[in-house]
Amino acid sequence: MNAVFEIVLNPLFAFSVLRVSTPILFAALGALISDKAGVINIALEGIMLISALAGVIFSAISGSAFFGLFMALFFGGLVAFGLGYVSLKLKTDVILAGIAINLIASGGTVFVLFLLTGDKGISSSLASKLLPKIDIPILKSIPILGPILSGHNILTYFAFISVFLVWFLLYRTPLGLRIRAVGENEHAVDSVGISVVKTRFIALIISGVMAGFGGAYMTMGYISWFSRDMTAGRGFIALAAESMGGATPLGSMLSSLLFGFFDALSNSLQLLKIPYEFVSMLPYVATVVGLVIYTTQKTKRMHRMRIKAESKKEVL
Amino acid sequence: MTSDAVLSMEDITKVYPNGIVANKGVNFSVRTGEIHGLVGENGAGKTTLMQILFGLNQADVGKIFFNGKEIKIDSPHAAIAQGIGMVHQHFMLVPSLTVSENLVLGLEPRRGFIFDKSRGIHITQELSKKYNLKVEPDMLVRDLPVGLKQKVEILKALYRGAKILILDEPTAVLTPQEMVELFNELRQLRDEGNTIIFISHKLAEVKALCNRVTVMRAGKSQGVFNVEDVTEEDISRIMVGRDVILRVEKDVAQPKESVLKVNRLTVVNSFNKRVVDDISFSLRRGEILGVAGVEGNGQRELVEAITGFGSYGLGSILIDGEDIKQLSIKEIRDLGCSHIPEDRMSYGCAPTLSVRMNLLSYKHNRREFNRRFFLMHMSTIRDVSTELVKEYQILCTSTEQEVRCMSGGNIQKVIVAREFSDNPKLIVANQPTRGIDVGATEFIRKRLVELRDRGAAVLLVSADLNEVMELSDSFLVMYGGKINAFIEDVSNFNEEKLGQYMLGLKSQDVDEIGRALHD
Amino acid sequence: RGKTEAGTDDDGVLKIVNLINGTRGDKSFFDSSAAGMDLIEAKYDSAVLTKTIEMSYDQPNWEPTLLDIADQDWDIIIVGTWQMTEMLEEVARDNPDKRFIIYDTEVDYSLDLGNVYSILYSQNEASFVAGALATALTKSNLPLTNPDKLIGFLGGMDIPVINDFLVGYVEGARYVDPDIKIAVSYIGSFDDTAKGKEMALAQYSQGVDIGFNVAGQAGLGQLDAAKDMHRYAIGVDSDQAEFFVQTDKATADLIATSVLKHVDKSLLRAIDMHMEGKAPYGSSEILGFDEEGVGIAKNEFYMAIVPEEIRELVDEIEEKIRSGEIEVSSAFGMDSEAINELRYSISP
Amino acid sequence: MTKAQWRFEFYRTGVVIITAVLLSLLIIVLVSDMPGLAIKLFLTGPLDSLRHFGNLVEMVVPLLFTGLATTVMFTASQFNLGAEGAFFFGAIGAAFIAVNWNLPPVLHPAVAIVWGGIIGSVFCGIPGALKVKWGSSELVSSLMFNYIAFFLGLYLINYLLRDVTAGAMVSFPFANSSKLVKIIPKTRIHTGLFIAVFTVLVMGVFTYRTRWGYRIRVLGTNIEFARYSGINTTWTIVMSQVLGGFLAGMGGSIELLGMYRRFEWQTLPGYGWTGIIVAILAHNNPFYVPLAALFLAYMKIGSDIMSRSTDMPNEFVAIIQGMIIILISASSFLSKQRHKMIVREAIS
Ligand SMILES: Nc1ncnc2c1ncn2[C@@H]1O[C@H](COP(=O)(O)OP(=O)(O)OP(=O)(O)O)[C@@H](O)[C@H]1O
Ligand SMILES: Nc1ncnc2c1ncn2[C@@H]1O[C@H](COP(=O)(O)OP(=O)(O)OP(=O)(O)O)[C@@H](O)[C@H]1O
Ligand SMILES: [Mg+2]
Ligand SMILES: [Mg+2]
């Protein structure tokens, strides 16, 4: 047990929690926006994968990491647009369309990688670029906090800033109002002359761009190349995180961090005497447990309210 | 086409994806400064026609002219741009947003990127003052009573600068008093030069309010009339195609022992509101007990509690002396309780399954429908459903037809056939004739009386005052979750008084209400 | 069709096919195998016809592919890894006129498989050297090392081939310093590079200053982690520094060496023997340092990173292994308990 | 639906499949240096030899099970995507019985398959139970359970069934009595095919002819109506997923006992995901599941054969599959034509 504390209390551990959480947080925010608009975006996994590859390819071609990022976002938005097209226009079930896109992404990225490099495994023969890491001047020199918070990839900071941006978008802008309205009652939106399809398209594209950030981070920050199926379920975990976070920006952030915590822990815990399979299972179990706890709390709260209201009369 | 028409629709035909032809070559036009009635039986295609005008639906054939020029209305956006506003039959509001947010949605006041909440509130107040429609800008829409929701809907249309205002059955959920108020407001709007299209089933209202009226039947227009030139009887004849008698002949009830006993029942909903508040009454074999009241005053929750659909906190419900608190829906049904749900599409049927499978429903466990080896007895199921279809005059191509491809009235008949064919002891009928045409209504009402005479106890919940007054042997009025009045003798009771009970302006004293328990 | 003594066709062209049960691009094992075919082609040119087929990681597809290929007119069919053995045993029995080479494992010769040549590698011996090198480095006062006596091992999965590396690595490390501690983790995958990187980072942040990855593509994550943390890494199977020279010199600069499993050279060697008619079909060979089956990469980066006296130590240990003075244990045949015990004994 | 609408649906599916095939051909022509051969193998490969036909059938068998599993869950409108995990974990369950027990031939696999099914049903059932108990989305938790099944499965193999003499993390070989007998020589088609076909019939009858099937269908079309009909929705929701898990677990067991000598999966085999596609293509009708499974297997085997002999990587099938799913389930694809037809029919 002591050893676990030792690991967890090391500032480097906290640092790695933030790093591991970043792609999940991006995708969870993406999941949040589309969920608010009433569309389940199960394609996040595939979108991340495609963006990850796009980032590598275009940063290698152009020699600019930021152009790579831009293209990753572009492809994220584009694929989300495709998802929107088939689900909103062609009326394909959105879950199925999501699965299909994941399938296409998984095979398609390897296919494209193969066409470009002759490799099916990894893109290391492309000289792709990395997004910069940022040292925060004053913060950096504060003990404990400095090593935890300073020196992250620029996208890690942006991920946490995005939590605020997404909150702002959803709750403070006209677009956010429309997105929330369309998710709750599309007829209401329709009846005031806002296009339901257009609003959902916009939400999906933003969602895709968020996943695009996650993908770009995977290949241009987290590690420095693309490898097949490298998102390894992070898109699904993001869906779980959003759900666990009660479909709020802050909640999504906290549950992404929770997952990140257990993931980072699972990376370190191996050094203790626990079979690695158990340790690897930890983040997923934690997610399910988190999901259950969240939903139990919700039902309990409602139940308590009910009982209180029913007994009020008796007291009077 | 009349030359002074500000807006006209020509030769409109609309086919829904399920093959239903809702409009067939309809011509329709309105003038500036008039209130134009649009009447027709349920399913005649009124809503569809107006949705086409408002861009929520697209016609397959036909043209729309505005001030003589042909226009395309392919979305509500386009309609709003032409100054057309619509108040929908089913509310189109976002429950978790506030009144002002609902009102300005789509035309949000902004400060830079930001949605300017306080301006929204201000706009709502101004508008509310200007049109004399009082609303609370800060209230969440889900907390509003229906009457207020209606006002928000009207303000929504006005805020968008509607010159032509379509009101699709705005009075269905209002009390007589609220109605008078609304009519005054509509007349004022008309006098300011707006055009109003008014859809209603209540011909008296049409007579009182409208200048002209268009009558529809089975997807076709039957012509336009000046209201002064026609009587209510004329209109209903044109609507239905024959003379209608809506009076059901029935003998005086012979109530026997009590079947249902509701004692101090209290139900609290998930928003922490006491929706049924300390209600007691009993229902006896061989009588029809009506429950009147404006929708949303606890009727639904009462029905849910009795049928096992919703849980309740305090009090008790006894069916045949058995407390049903812990019983499942199945067990309650096994006590001989049948249930016609308020919302047939959400509760009463499985739209993509066949008529046969819908007729089976809660009876699927019965021995007669099951064979050895766990197999269902398909031929019995077929025969029994064919029989029911014949007996209840259900119009369908075969018992294999999917229910969603049938008309509303026929779907209702499927439900009624299923629920009535079982020799039920207790029938809870919630809005049994809502949204179905006169013929079917007549049929269902007669059946209800028949079942009563055979000894069933009937709890009839209806928003249709006529229905309650005509069918019930006695009735309750619900207001704010409470029983506000118990009327034992329906024959000498007038609508005006009923309206006051429904609005909570008057209520009986405890003793009078206590008679509902029959002890 | 008549076959000549060495098994070539009438037209004199030797047709060789290599079935990879994965894909190219792992920068280690399978790339090395594919490179073997290039070596063969380069040496024999028009005398051979070679082809490499990637069966990918899709296991159900392997057996049908092998059967299809056995039906075609290839003279020599090459496969690798233990997962292919049982299939190969059947196919080889059904195709006695064809020659088969299997590497990194051996078939069961009690089944009378006179047409199969198995190549094993003494990866434990090469790992022994790597372990010794890593320990010497961590104790040294090179700029990127720390005083802790802690090194790392990052495996793909907890399986015998990988643990064979581990066993050698541990023994080598203890040979230099009996008190050495080794952080051991398994990624649980051979392709999740991100996870590989995370785990390597976790090791480095706990004070590991030189780590050894044995995890195929997933292990590449460790190299990336080394670059991030500015620590040393040891590659596996192929010369991994070589792969990064062009695109990412900063990474290459930190790869002290790679434990080479010369699949490429061993395949060439097998074909050489085949051409001379001396290939030992019907038996297996363990290729060690002497046969150039294994080794550690002594490239420019090794020279740059490893100080003179440690290089001498490495050479000396290599010599002792060759001469049999040092005997290295193997993980094959060890059960999970024994491996566990070994791991716990060196865990930090 | 009217007859004309059925006919329309039939044509629409045809158009979708033709579009998909044309699209694949287009990609092949663009990418391949030998498009002629590639196309020929892709389209006719699965039928050009008994063994290839065998491969096709071998692939259909597991897809029937995962397809049926997903079908029954989707029929109940339970979007449980856990067939993958249940398939994997069911196979682990079967592996235990196959390795450790000693039973007479027919009984042995029967017990193993039933046990695998039971284990599988636990894995799909838990997300269902979590849903009815606490309202957690079964979609999300079943996705997580796929991972949990995978790691837990690996743990069990590694610590309880691991064959230490093998060169990879695999179980001990199965007892011969536990294996499903091969029924057609030169192929690996095994008696599991009979079980699969029988299961299809049983599930068809179950769905359309029993009261449990009735409850599931009612639940799936309208849960409120199901409640109203006195159906125990909680129980039915859980049972539909337990049954789905059972079918998937059975499938995993049958695949393992029919096709493998030991448990050797190191990754999730992916049949569960494909099963979801099968279910969608079959419009959740058990009787159409074989058609859908055959179609998907045909594409997969065709492309495997193609990639073996040409320069086309078989990953491209995933692209084609994805497009087909989208188009087939696109209810608005060709909807203009459909609507025109309906209008024509209605007005006339
Ligand atoms: N979305 C839809 N899909 C298919 N059929 C529909 C749809 N909406 C309405 N219908 C059918 O079209 C016909 C006309 O419906 P409409 O709603 O226009 O009638 P209405 O005159 O407004 O009736 P009511 O008085 O009940 O409001 C009905 O038969 C109805 O069942
Ligand atoms: N083998 C059978 N032969 C004839 N009728 C049967 C048979 N099994 C069941 N039934 C009929 O079905 C009815 C309900 O059966 P049962 O009590 O088993 O259903 P249940 O309790 O609602 O749920 P379940 O069917 O899941 O057990 C029985 O009362 C009986 O009429
Ligand atoms: Mg209407
Ligand atoms: Mg050190």
Which portions of chain A are predicted below pLDDT 50? 311-316
> Mean pLDDT of all residues in chain C?
88
Average pLDDT, stretch B255-269? Answer: 88
Q: Closest ligand 2 atom to the C-alpha of B367? A: 31
A305 within domain boundaries: no
Average pLDDT, stretch C324-329? Answer: 90
Segment among A205-209, B41-45, B305-309 with least mean pLDDT:
B41-45
Where would I find the H helices in C59-109? Answer: 62-71, 85-94
Buried b (16+ CB within 10 A) or exposed e, A193-231: bbbbbbbbbbbbbbbbbbbbbbbbbbbbbbbbbbbbbbb
Residue spans of the domains in chain B: they are 7-240, 245-336+424-519, 344-423
> Mean pLDDT of all residues in chain D?
88
pLDDT of residue A315: 37
CB of B115 closer than 6 angstroms to any ligand 1 atom: no
Q: How far is C271 from chain A (nearest CA, A)?
A: 26
Altogether, the residues listed in chain B come to a count of: 519
Q: What is the pLDDT of residues B309-329, one digit of tens each?
A: 888 888 899 999 889 888 889
A49 within domain boundaries: yes
pLDDT of residue B174: 66
Pick from B219, B249, B189: nearest CA to B47? B219
Lookup: tokens for B518: 């029959």
Average pLDDT, stretch B440-459? Answer: 89
A214 within domain boundaries: yes
Using a CB-CB cut-off of 8 Å, the residues of chain C touching D267 are: 57, 189
pLDDT of residue A7: 75
Q: How far is D258 from chain C (nearest CA, A)?
A: 12
pLDDT of residue A314: 39
ipTM for the complex?
Answer: 0.83
- Which residues between 174 and 193 in chain A have a beta carbon less than 8 angstroms from any beta carbon of chain B? 174, 176-178, 180-181, 184-185, 187-193
CA dist A169 and A33 (Å) reads: 9
pLDDT of residue A305: 57
Centre of ligand 4 from the C-alpha of residue C202, in Å: 15
Q: Which residue has the tokens 């004070």?
A: C207
CB of B40 closer than 6 angstroms to any ligand 1 atom: yes
Q: HSE, CB side, 13 Å, CA atoms: give it for residue C182.
A: 31
pLDDT of residue B1: 42
Centre of ligand 3 from the C-alpha of residue B47, in Å: 4
Supply the pTM of this predicted model: 0.86
Instruction: Give the long-range contacts of residues D209-213, CB within 8 A, separation 24 or more.
Output: D209/B375, D209/B376, D209/B378, D210/B374, D210/B375, D210/B376, D211/B364, D211/B365, D211/B369, D211/B370, D211/B374, D211/B376, D212/B374, D212/D239
**Residue C235, strand partner residues:** C258
pLDDT > 90? residue D86: yes
Residue A293 CB neighbour total at 10 angstroms: 13
Centre of ligand 4 from the C-alpha of residue C249, in Å: 24
pLDDT of residue B245: 57
- The DSSP annotation for B369-388 comes to GB-STTBB-HHHHHHHHHHH
Which CATH homologous superfamily contains domain B7-240? P-loop containing nucleotide triphosphate hydrolases (3.40.50.300)
Pick from A153, A130, A124, A108: nearest CA to A55? A130
pLDDT > 70? residue B176: no
CB of B110 closer than 6 angstroms to any ligand 2 atom: no
Confidence of residue C238 (pLDDT cuts 50, 70, 90): confident
DSSP helix/strand/coil, D254: helix
CA dist A268 and C183 (Å) reads: 10
Q: What is the pLDDT of residues D231-261, one digit of tens each?
A: 999 999 999 999 999 999 999 999 999 999 8
Q: How far is A85 from chain D (nearest CA, A)?
A: 10
CA dist B315 and C74 (Å) reads: 86
Average pLDDT, stretch C266-288? Answer: 91
pLDDT of residue C6: 42
A316 within domain boundaries: no
CA dist D116 and D153 (Å) reads: 12
Q: Could you list the residue range(s) of the whole structural domain that residue A122 is in?
A: 2-235
Note the ligand closest to the C-alpha atom of D236: 2
Q: Which of D16, D151, D266 to mutate to test the interface with A (most CBs of A within 10 A)?
A: D151
Q: What is the pLDDT of residues C69-122, one digit of tens each?
A: 998 889 999 999 888 998 999 999 999 999 999 998 889 889 888 999 999 999
A249 within domain boundaries: no
pLDDT > 90? residue D61: yes
Residues B374, D231: C-beta atoms closer than 8 Å:
no
A262 within domain boundaries: no
Segment among C23-37, C61-75, D318-332 with least mean pLDDT:
D318-332
pLDDT of residue B2: 45
Total domain count, chain A: 1
CA dist D35 and D316 (Å) reads: 14
Question: Taking a C-beta distance cutoff of 8 angstroms, is the pair B486, B281 a contact?
Answer: yes
- Give CA separation, D15 vs A294, B97, B447, C336, D23, in Å: 46, 45, 51, 55, 12
Buried b (16+ CB within 10 A) or exposed e, C303-325: eebbeeebbebbeebbeebeeee
Q: Which residue of A has its CA nearest to D281?
A: A96
CATH of range B245-336+424-519; options 3.40.50.300, 3.30.1490.100, 3.20.20.70, 3.30.1360.70: 3.40.50.300
Strands C210-214 and C232-237: parallel
Please give the interface size between A and B, counted as residue pairs whose CB atoms are below 8 Å apart: 97
Centre of ligand 4 from the C-alpha of residue C136, in Å: 9
pLDDT of residue D283: 85
Q: What is the pLDDT of residues B233-254, one digit of tens each?
A: 788 788 777 665 556 677 887 8
Q: What is the pLDDT of residues B455-469, one digit of tens each?
A: 999 999 987 777 888
Looking at per-residue pLDDT, the higher value among B372 and B78 belongs to B78
Confidence of residue D126 (pLDDT cuts 50, 70, 90): very high
Domains B7-240 and B245-336+424-519 share a fold: yes
> Mean pLDDT of all residues in chain B?
85
Torsion C28-C34-C37-C41 (CA) sign: negative
Using a CB-CB cut-off of 8 Å, the residues of chain C touching A151 are: none
Q: How far is A81 from chain B (nearest CA, A)?
A: 22
Lookup: tokens for B481: 């979750």
Q: What percent of chain C has pLDDT over 70?
A: 97
- Closest CA to ligand 2's atom 21: B365
